[in-house]
Amino acid sequence: MLDLFAQHPGLYIGCVALFGLMVGSFLNVVIHRVPKMLEREWREQCAWLQGREPEREARYNLVLPPSSCPQCNHAIRWYENIPLLSWVVLRGRCSQCQATISPRYPLVEAFTGLMFATTAWKWGVTADVLWVWALLGVLLALTFIDFDTHLLPDNLTLPLIWLGLLANLFGVFVPLEEAVLGAVAGYLSLWSVYHLFKLLTGKEGMGFGDFKLLAALGAWLGWKMLLPIVLVASLAGAVFGIALVLLRGQARSKPIPFGPWLALGGVVSLFWGPTLLHFWLG
């Protein structure tokens, strides 16, 4: 099969794109359910701290219960859950109650398929592309979770750090020494900015999840990529914030999530990091 893919790159990229669509469908589940799983954990912890028995709730994780319509609880059949196609055939509505299905679901699927196909074109038929898919999948999930909740869950950011170090144990992206320094420098850089900003203004400028996400990107891409990541993230976040103020009249004091822009900086550095470094530093 690998030889066939190597001889027919178009077939390989097409199969990877289809695989990306399926991964995107799963990422929709992660984006929707992980924050709810965290809320359940917090309620349980609060109950124990208050000295009372937590309320028993139905099992809820990434597998159970099966997917259903949030409006009428109609169980989604397998043929109603085909990436992209089902949403188009159903015209973006539940087959039972006709409630609107958010277009974000097919957009996440399509974007994941496009990203995976692009990595297949760039990295070819190699084992390294598996690590790239893992990184991009988690970054995409974190992006939408942060947009929705302003949270970057530890159960995604921390494993991402360890996965990056594990990948570079084999030198997939950078030597292990650069990966370790990248994780440490990534965390401490935003940690220092956070405390300096708090000391000067008395306010919190960002969340601890941002520290961990930059540490994870440093673990994957090495300490040399931290500068491009932060510059791209700062520029994109500033443009997004200004656009919200000018176009939607959002209050300037209202915080915006920084995690999505760190993720964007990570993706840009993954694909074009050495070129950017050469352009900036010579």
pTM of the model: 0.93
pLDDT, tens only, 1-55: 767 777 778 899 999 999 999 999 999 999 999 999 999 999 888 988 888 888 8
Query: Which pLDDT band, with edges at 50, 70 and 90, does 129 fall under?
Result: very high
Give the chain's length: 282
Cα–Cα distance for residue pair 132/145, rounded to 1 Å = 20
Amino acid 282: pLDDT? 65
| C-beta neighbour count of 6 within 10 angstroms | 12
Backbone φ and ψ of 57, nearest 5°: -120, 155
pLDDT category at 275 given cuts 50, 70, 90 is confident
Is 221 a residue whose pLDDT tops 80? Answer: yes
User: Which 8-state DSSP code applies to residue 78?
Assistant: G
Measured CA to CA, the distance from residue 278 to residue 52 in angstroms comes to: 59
The residue ranking higher by pLDDT, 213 or 76, is 213
Radius of gyration of the chain from its Cα atoms, rounded to whole angstroms: 21
More confident residue, 224 or 253: 224
Place of tokens 């997939």: 172
Calpha distance 112→25 (Å, rounded): 9
pLDDT of residue 211: 95
Question: Residues near 93 by Cβ (< 8 Å), separated by ≥ 6?
Answer: 99, 100, 101
Rounded mean pLDDT, 214-223:
97
Quote the distance between the C-alpha of residue 40 and its chain's center. 21
- pLDDT tens across 229-239, in order? 999 999 999 99
